[in-house]
Amino acid sequence: MDFTPPTADQLLAIRVNAEIEELAAHDRFGDASIDMVEAIVSGIGQFAAGEFAPLNRKGDLEGARLANGAVSLPDGFAAAYQGYFEQGWNAISGPVEFGGQGLPFTLASNVIENLGSANMAFTLLPLLTVGAIEALHHHGSASQKALYLPRLVSGEWSGTMNLTEPQAGSDVGALRTAASPRGDGSWLIKGSKIFITWGEHDLTRNVIHLVLARTPGAPAGSRGISLFVVPKYLVGADGSLGERNDLRCVSLEHKLGIMASPTCVMSFGDNDACIGELIGHENEGLKAMFTMMNSARINVGNQGVQIAERALQQARRYARDRIQSARSGSADKAAVAIVQHPDVRRMLLRMRALTEGARALLYYTAGQVDRATLGSAAAQSRADCLVPMLKAWGTDVGCEVASLGVQIHGGMGFIEETGAAQHYRDARIAPIYEGTNGIQAADLVTRKLGYEGGGVLASLYAEIEQGCTALPELAGLAGDCRAVADWMAGNASIDDRLAGSVAFCTMSAVAVAGWQLHRQAQDGGGGEAKRVVAAYFASAICGEARGLKGSAMAGAELLYALDAETLAG
């Protein structure tokens, strides 16, 4: 059940895939020297293993609890969070003018990766705060930034994202929460939200809710949505905390996993006294919220890496320790550790290849985000295309690796006491929240496919083909992706594209991940083990992904061959 930070592999991915040394050559990221990078990766790994990891099982067993409107966490969570923000981990990539360290997003991603592998449910608290910082920094007024960002950047306060309502899930335009002007520049907020991660808790002095709502006379649908900052405690001009705002947690959801993350049903304005401030302009809330969601989607893709790493580590230990049966075909009939059996080796190698491939994709994406921050439009376009791949395939990897971890444990994996089942349960939410994986795939084939007339994805696939000529399955997969993209952009209807979107998204993500693993193997920093893992990924994982080409180009006809009543009846 212990967690050992995969520091060496993280540093390799940061150096090779994010190309951190090139980023550090720019004045903005000049502090990201190799020594600094190594200190951060090593330091957060030690902190995560020592403070967050011991609470993982405790949080799963005891969970968050609601009593008299207040949510509390098990003993130890408050002290661990206090150490997290006092040591400055929340401020790694925060804007310097508001107390942040201004380091690359790549390093903030590493902070989240280590914390999440140690304790995925707990790490959702800083993950949501990062998103709130992004939205306020890009869309808030000067006074809002001055008031809220220093305390959010430090981690003294936490942030949330309030989109979903019972009748408005993925269809955000159907929301009903209302905002009415008070006449002094502030607004009265009234409505309810569901699935609000860390919407109420006792670990920070204030919780800053970002809430989507409709103003009077707003257009219907998503065009009429505005974004408001709604603090748990009202904030004075000097940052001091005032009275409790008129909002409360009505209940906590009973979930499959992430038990230590309070998933709240929030009510705003029960007494018609919930006060909020408009962020940006009326009816432009989705633009601001998508800034937050884009950051969150990268970090949820990161969660796939996190849970895969934790499940892999536990499966490795079990495979070394569990003695069961003689190896088939061996003259020696003595029982051996199950790691000696071919099928267990297959599962372990697959788990490792998927985990390290997803990590390579994560840091390649983070590096592109950092280059976009430095002003590269090409990096921004590529990052935009990589985000749905990372979120969708990365979280699918988390589920598959956690499932394989249960399988390696055999019957004991199905028993809660071993802890393997927790990883499986925790992983399952990641393909759902922050835009389901189907929505990510739809985004890729509807919006991102057309970037620069298809040139952004075409150049990506061409670069993979050119860089992987020695790996026929990987180069062939990139060519298959290009062929599917050309077909979708040419003759396919919108339904045909959507029908093949998940297969195409998976193919694309696997191609990029395989390419980035190949770059690690060429670098040589991972030794013989990395060469074997990269080769296995290129042959086995890429070979499977090539088999999805038919599905990607099958069209939608069969999906609509049965009427809705017959299909769902």
Catalytic annotation, residues: 434
CA–CA distance, 567 with 282 (Å, rounded to integer): 42
For residue 318 the two structure tokens come to 């079990």
Query: Measured between alpha carbons, how far is 542 from 525 in angstroms, rounded to an integer?
Result: 23
The answer to whether 187 and 247 are in contact (CB under 8 A) is no
Amino acid in position 471? L
DSSP label at residue 218: P
Alpha-carbon span 232 to 159, nearest angstrom: 10
Q: Which residue in 295, 404, 396 sits closest to 344, CA to CA?
A: 404
The Cα–Cα gap between 248 and 532 comes to 53
User: Residue 245 — φ and ψ, nearest 5°?
Assistant: -70, 165
Task: Quote the CA–CA distance of 564 and 491 in Å, as a whole number.
Answer: 26
DSSP 105-151: HHHHHHHHHHHHHH-HHHHHHHHHHHHHHHHHHHHS-HHHHHHHHHH
Phi, psi torsion values for 39, nearest 5 degrees: -65, -40
Whole-angstrom CA distances from 286 to 165, 173, 192, 210, 225 are: 15, 9, 18, 11, 7
Q: Where are the alpha helices (DSSP H) in 500-569?
A: 501-523, 527-536, 542-546, 549-552, 564-568
Token digits of residue 98: 């508001």
Greatest Cα pair distance in the chain: 87
The token duo for 516 is 């980035």
Buried b (16+ CB within 10 A) or exposed e, 301-330: bbbbbbbbbbbbbbbbebbeebeeeebeee
Tokens 């193997």, located at residue: 521
Residue 453 neighbours by CB under 8 Å, 6+ apart: none
Distance CA(80)–CA(55), nearest Å, equals: 9
Phi, psi (rounded to 5 degrees) for 448? -75, -30
* Structure token pair of residue 425: 């349960």
C-alpha span between 74 and 64 (Å, rounded): 7
Q: What are all long-range contacts of 550-558, with beta carbons under 8 Å and residues at least 24 apart?
A: 551/500, 551/503, 552/484, 552/500, 552/503, 552/504, 552/507, 553/484, 553/487, 553/492, 553/500, 554/499, 554/500, 555/492, 555/493, 555/495, 555/496, 555/499, 555/500, 556/493, 556/495, 556/496, 556/498, 556/499
Structure-token match 């320790």, residue found: 321
What is the C-alpha to C-alpha distance for residues 312 and 424, in angstroms, rounded to an integer? 12
